[in-house]
Amino acid sequence: MMTPMRYVVLVLAIIISLHFLLSFSHEEYGRATSLSHITEKFGGAKPHPPYQDGVPEDYYTTQPIPSPKGRRANATFVFLARNNDLNGVVMSMKQVEDRFNKEFQYPYVFLNEEPFSDEFKDRVQTLTDSKIEFGLIPKEDWYQPSWIDEEKASAARKEMVEKNVIYGGSVPYRNMCRFNSGFFYRHELLAKYKYYWRVEPDVNFFCDLHYDPLLFMQDNKKVYGFTVSLYEYPATIPTLWDAVKEFIEENPDAVSPDNAMSFISDDGGKSYNNCHFWSNFEIGDLDFWRGEAYSKFFDFLDKKGGFYYERWGDAPVHSIGAALFAKKDQIHFFNEIGYRHNPFQHCPQGELHKKGKCWCNPQENFDYEWYSCLKRYDALFA
C-alpha cells in the first residue's frame, strides 16, 4: 500500500517527465520554460541588438502563396547591370524569386548606362510575374564630371595600379561607386517608391524567406538594412574621413542624436575605423538618401573629387551617412537572410537556419570573423 509521500513523489516524477518530453518535442514550450527565459521575465532582459529578438510572427506567411497576402511596402528591387551581366543577373534574380518574391511579387527596376538588349529583357521577364521596368542612366549621372582634373585622376589611378589596389585603374568602377553613392535614388523610375532592395549579379540567397523585410523596414521606420559588414581597404579612401569631419564641423545639426558613430569610429569621430556595411546587399529608405542631410553630405563629398582622385566606394559613403544621419536603431541586421557575394557570406545559425531551409554551410559564416564588423554593430546596443 502506497503512502501519501509516495504518491507525491510519483506525481512529481510524472510532471518532470512530461516537462522534459514537452521541452524536446515543442520548441516554444522549451523556450518559454527555460531558465534563461524565466530569469529575463523576472530580472529584466540584458541589453542586446534588436535583431536578436527576431521578426514578429505576424510578418510571416503561414503557407506558400502565389500572390501577395495582405499589405505590401511601397518598394522595388533595384538591379544596376550591363547587358554582359545577363547570366549573373539571371542567377541572382532566380534565387530572389524562388526564395522570396514568388510569394510577395515586388516589382523590379533595372538600370544601365546603355540601353538593355532585347535578349536581356526577354530572359529576365521569363523569371517573374512581377512588373519590370528598364531605365537608362543619364550621362551626367554616370560619367566622370568635366570638372575633374584628369591629369590628377590619371596619376592616382596609375599609383593604385602599381600598389595592386583592386579596381585601382578602373574609371567605370569609379563611375559606378559615384552613381550608387549619390544618383541611383534620384532616377525617375524610382521616384514613386519609398523603399528598395539592391541586388547584384552573381550573388546567392540561401534561405526561404516567408516574411516581408521591406514591410518590416517600413512599419518599424528603419532606414538601412544589411547582411555583411567589414573593413574598407584604407588605400582607397585616404582622405575620406578628413572630408567627413569637415562636413560635420560645418553642419553639426545634420548629425542625428543617438546615432551609430561608435560603429565607424573608436574615438568619438577623430578617426575612421574603416567599418562599413557591404552595400552590394542593402535594403533601404529612398527618402533617407533623398533627404536634406544626406543630399548635402553627398554633394560636399562629390566636390572633393575623391571618387576619382582616390577610389571612394559607395559602401563607406552609404555606411557613414547612415551611421551619422540615422538613429542607431534605424539600422537593421537581417539575420534571417542568408546571402553571399564572393568571397564573404552570412549564413543564419541554429533555428534560423532550419526555419529558412538554408542551403549554406553554417560553419562558413563571416559574422564574427576577424575582418567582420558585426561585433561593432552589436556593441551599439550593449
- Phi, psi angles (nearest 5°) of residue 76: -150, 155
Do 241 and 323 meet the contact criterion of CB atoms below 8 Å apart?
no
Question: Of 40, 104, 101, 100, nearest to 67 (Cα)?
Answer: 104
Query: For residue 362, what is its C-alpha cell?
Result: 553554417
> Can 310 be counted among the known catalytic residues?
no
For residue 240, count other CB atoms closer than 10 A to its CB.
23
Secondary structure in 3-state letters for 123-191: HHHCCCCCCEEEEECCHHHHCCCCCCCHHHHHHHHHHHHHCCCCCCCCHHHHHHHHHHHHCHHHCHHHC
* b/e map 165-178, b = 16+ CB within 10 Å: bebbbeeeebbbbb
Q: Which of 97, 103, 232, 282 is catalytic?
A: 282
Handedness of CA 201, 180, 248, 165 (dihedral sign): positive
- Give the HSE-up count for residue 109: Cα atoms under 13 Å, Cβ half-sphere: 22
Question: Of 187, 238, 208, nearest to 198 (Cα)?
Answer: 187
Question: Could you give the C-alpha distances from 168 to 129, 159, 163, 222, 315, in angstroms and in order?
Answer: 40, 8, 8, 34, 16
30, 35, 36, 37: CA torsion to nearest 10: 60
Do 251 and 294 meet the contact criterion of CB atoms below 8 Å apart?
no
Element (H, E) at 218: helix 213-219
- Phi, psi angles (nearest 5°) of residue 56: -55, 140
* Start-to-end CA span in the chain (Å): 59
Query: For residue 69, what is its C-alpha cell?
Result: 497576402
Please identify every residue annotated as catalytic: 282
